[in-house]
Amino acid sequence: MKFKIEATAPDTDARAGRFTTDHGEVLTPIFMPVGTVASVKAVHQRELRDDIKAQIILGNTYHLYLRPGLDILEKAGGLHKFNGWERPILTDSGGFQVFSLSDIRKLTDEGVKFRSHIDGSRHLFTPENVVDIQRVIGSDIMMALDECTPGDADYAYARKSLDLTQRWLLRGWKRYKETEGHYGYYQSWFPIVQGCVYPDLRREAASRIAELEADGNAIGGLAVGEPVEKMYEMIEIVNEILPKDCPRYLMGVGTPANILEGIDRGVDMFDCVMPTRNGRNGMLFTRNGIMNMRNRKWADDFSPLDEGGAAWVDEVYSKAYVRHLFAANEILAMQIASVHNLAFYLWLVGEARKHIVEGDFKVWKRHMLENVTRRL
């Protein structure tokens, strides 16, 4: 992976860059739509490519491993050919999903034993076989196996958890370095900084990861219950240490405001289910504020869904029509909302990039934060 910083914003750590994979180039800062089971819910690949203008999407190792399974993915020639997405793909290691199964998993030094949420079958993820699984999936960026510590964990638990994650880190790195991809193209591997909300643990984790000189680095274990101020503090601490010449990926974050604050602090890559999940429940994010499309106030508002918005649906459909679709539990409502929200998120990071390049990011961000946090 080649990463180049093209501009930085005065009085912030925000930067505009680009990285190149064998499936294409990605301009940063970037938001990555989440395609957990090889699809971004309710969104066609054509819409992702042409309307939303996604440059890179996510898949999830845990879910893809269980269904459709590695045999199917390998026969297909990897995830790109299986789901028809020709641009870059990042896969999470599945650690977050496995650790959320607290009642049907067991953590050991070897790895994590768990039962499938689908059929109850037993499985084992190790730092090594998670690399092997992602080799079969064929993502452009693979993630290390880690334990995602709860945001309210006490120091003793966070210390023990980080020690385990760091032992796994070295084993995963070794397996990555001694293996190659299955399909003739290069795959990057990102380690993940953990440490909960404890500055010394975050510094230790970031320092050890920086020594690996991986293609990029991730920050995990945030937006998992800790106060938002703590999240921003941890980002600042970690980004003081992580290499500046590699992309930094903040995992699972978040709201439009979270993304703007993350960019301000030097983050390059984001993902979150919020635009699609919240969209399917009637919440639309716009450049003027947040709309709950189930509210009665939109019932006779025939103005465009989001005049001048980033997606074609914004001009075609009215607020009243979309509100009607949600009231009627029509599937089209979820599709429209998903396309709109993802297009908005991609527009937001694109505008951030533009203002970093133009040198007025700080002023633009202050104005945009007021807008995107407003309830309409």
- Which residues are designated catalytic? 92, 271
Element holding 373 (H helix, E strand): none
Extract the tokens encoding 141: 């960026």
Extract the tokens encoding 213: 């000189």
Q: What is the DSSP letter of 286?
A: E
CA 1 to chain centre: 18
Distance (Å, whole) CA 170 – CA 176: 10
Extract the tokens encoding 318: 């009215």
- Residue 266 CB partners (closer than 8 Å, separation 6+): 13, 14, 15, 235, 239, 244, 248
- Residue 251 CB partners (closer than 8 Å, separation 6+): 92, 96, 192, 218, 219, 220, 222, 271
Distance (Å, whole) CA 268 – CA 256: 14
Beta bridge partner(s), residue 249: 218, 269
Please tell me the number of Cα atoms within 13 Å of 171 on its side-chain side: 18
In one letter, which amino acid is 239?
A: N
In one letter, which amino acid is 82?
A: F
Distance (Å, whole) CA 61 – CA 92: 6
Cα Rg of the chain, angstroms: 20
